[in-house]
Amino acid sequence: MESISLEQENYVRMSLLLTGISPRPVRKCFDKEFALARLDVSLKKEYDKLRDMKRERRINQSQWNLLFRRRPDVPDSKAFDVTLMITLLRNLTSMIPPLYGFDSLPNATETTQSADLARIKHYRNYLVHTDNGKLEDTFFNTAWTDITGVSDIYFPLADVKSPSEHHLALKYKKR
């Protein structure tokens, strides 16, 4: 079996961090703002705004179906991806956006909760749009530091200090 390159390994590690681990602080933040017991009521209260967001294509049909499920099912944040949770947080709460907005990578000095969410969103989008399955070492190390430096939005990503400590990432994945 052929071994993978360092750039491919970087991609795999970043994928684990961004899809297996970093959604957890986003979900904890989301669940704090939209308590699970009241999520259904909160969404119904914002129905008109959400419908406008759907019309503007900021929410797609599959996301809409997660928000407004057929009875007796109620929405559950465990079914929401990072993109949907951040979209709802930035549009339905009083969260103050990062200095340059949610669609740009915040400066390293900006350590607000919204900046942390924007960091996760930025790198997740970058990874999704990387079509060769590789990340150069310099970019990977910068991204890893940015993501694990998230100011502990309810989840100790900072414990995963370096890419070589990926076993910690696996440990958190089991929680």
Each domain of the chain, given as residue ranges in start order, spans 6-173
What type of residue sits at position 102?
Answer: F
pLDDT of 155 > 50? The answer is no
Kindly report the three-state secondary structure assignment for every residue of 129-160.
CCCCCCCCHHHHHHHHHHHHCCCCCCCCHHHC
What are 24-70's pLDDT values in tens digits?
889 989 999 998 788 989 999 999 999 999 999 999 999 999 999 87
Interhelix angle for 82-92 vs 47-55, to 10°? 120
Predicted local distance difference test score (pLDDT) of residue 175 = 33
Question: Average pLDDT for residues 11-23, to the nearest whole number?
Answer: 91
